[in-house]
């Protein structure tokens, strides 16, 4: 068993018994993205301390415990590429002893914790999946195709990325898409950028207020962070779509040229990276997103363009 027993899977649960809305919040789906765990721990503590009146339920889950423990993206495979309904059914049927990767074990354990919530038809459920990026300037939301997702994400003053579901298979966003439920992945900064913690908390509180689970006055302590985010990110296009994804495998030996930051403009034909076959050029004009500056990962970079 690869289970890590030092860290709790359930970061916290807060809210009102019987309330209509449930927010499932994932953190640490990638083990080198620890700030989501910190943000949730702090937020639960702040709510508890102030005994905030929350008309809903928040469930915070730490996802890839074994990878978090080692501060690496994943142990055997990317946990954010495993969320297919067919696979989820298979995992439910197999005993732990028959699972041979760390991530399958993690996923089965997460599912055992959340499936009652996911299939509770009496509740309005939404997923928010907290992440950080390896490149600078990584502050944006990615939505699935449920219309409610972008409605809520637009309340966080960072760019919104559309059209990612379908380009990357097996993400948590796609899982919720298949279930017909809203989901937002919130990339709140670079892996070691401590401001990401405040941005995560402010973004979450902003969504909780927008959905009337919190009163407007509960947003006040976080408003200065939202104002700062507006200031820091409103020069970026606020609504973009993915036009290209450069997929990679470990055997490609992909190396991104240094210095690219999220939303940096690139021109068609620009020399962006190398792999064992040679030069990788930008296939079109656009803005670069999530250029890969870490060893593990299956996406080299994305190119997005502004929506009208």
Residues that bind Zn ion (CB under 5 A): 30, 33, 131
Token pair, residue 27, equals 């953190």
In the complex, least distance from residue 278 CB atom to Zn ion, rounded to whole angstroms: 29
Q: Which is nearer to Zn ion, 34 or 146 (CB)?
A: 34
In the complex, least distance from residue 78 CB atom to Zn ion, rounded to whole angstroms: 9
Strands 183-190 and 124-133: parallel
Distance of alpha carbon 274 from alpha carbon 125, whole angstroms: 42
In the complex, least distance from residue 97 CB atom to Zn ion, rounded to whole angstroms: 29
Q: Which is nearer to Zn ion, 31 or 56 (CB)?
A: 31
In the complex, least distance from residue 30 CB atom to Zn ion, rounded to whole angstroms: 4
Q: Which is nearer to Zn ion, 47 or 74 (CB)?
A: 74
Strands 160-162 and 139-143: parallel
Long-range pairs of 249-258 with CB within 8 A, sequence gap ≥ 24: 249/298, 251/276, 252/276, 252/277, 252/300, 254/280, 254/292, 254/300, 256/291, 256/292, 256/293, 256/300, 256/301, 258/293
- For residue 208, give the nearest of 193, 190, 226, 235 by alpha carbon: 226
Token pair, residue 111, equals 């599912």
Q: Which is nearer to Zn ion, 153 or 214 (CB)?
A: 153
Q: Which is nearer to Zn ion, 13 or 169 (CB)?
A: 169
Q: Which is nearer to Zn ion, 131 or 146 (CB)?
A: 131
Token pair, residue 78, equals 């990317």
In the complex, least distance from residue 166 CB atom to Zn ion, rounded to whole angstroms: 18
In the complex, least distance from residue 130 CB atom to Zn ion, rounded to whole angstroms: 9
CB 178 within 8 A of CB 165: no
In the complex, least distance from residue 231 CB atom to Zn ion, rounded to whole angstroms: 25
CA triplet 106, 112, 113: central angle to 5 degrees?
95
Q: Which is nearer to Zn ion, 30 or 199 (CB)?
A: 30
Using DSSP's 3-state secondary structure scheme, residue 40 falls into helix
Residue 286 Ramachandran class (φ > 0 left, ψ -120 to 50 alpha, else beta) = left
């Amino acid at each position: 068993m690869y289970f890590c027993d030092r860290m709790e899977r359930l970061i916290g649960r807060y809210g009102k018994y019987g309330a209509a809305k449930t927010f499932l919040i994932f953190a640490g789906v990638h083990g080198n993205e620890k700030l989501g765990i910190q943000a949730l721990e702090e937020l639960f503590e702040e709510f508890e301390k102030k005994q905030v009146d929350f008309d809903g339920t928040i469930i915070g889950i730490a996802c890839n415990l074994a990878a978090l423990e080692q501060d690496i993206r994943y142990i055997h495979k990317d946990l954010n590429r495993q969320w297919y309904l067919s696979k989820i059914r298979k995992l439910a049927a197999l005993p732990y002893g028959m699972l041979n990767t760390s991530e399958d074990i993690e996923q089965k354990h997460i599912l055992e914790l959340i499936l009652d919530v996911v299939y509770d038809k009496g509740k309005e459920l939404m997923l928010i999946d907290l992440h950080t990026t390896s490149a600078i300037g990584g502050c944006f939301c990615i939505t699935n195709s449920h219309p409610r997702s972008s409605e809520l994400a637009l309340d966080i003053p960072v760019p919104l990325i559309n059209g990612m579901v379908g380009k990357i298979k097996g993400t948590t966003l796609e899982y919720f898409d298949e279930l017909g439920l809203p989901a937002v992945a919130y990339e709140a900064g670079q892996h070691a950028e401590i401001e990401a913690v405040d941005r995560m908390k402010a973004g979450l509180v902003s969504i909780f207020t927008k959905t009337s689970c919190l009163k407007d006055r509960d947003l006040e302590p976080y408003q200065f962070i939202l104002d700062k985010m507006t200031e820091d990110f409103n020069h970026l296009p606020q609504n973009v779509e993915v036009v290209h994804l450069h997929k990679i495998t470990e055997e490609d030996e992909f190396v991104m040229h240094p210095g690219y930051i999220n939303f940096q403009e690139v021109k068609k034909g620009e020399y962006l990276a190398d792999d064992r076959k040679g030069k990788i050029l930008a296939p079109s004009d656009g803005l670069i997103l999530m250029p890969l500056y870490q060893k593990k990962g299956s996406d080299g970079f994305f190119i997005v363009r502004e929506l009208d």
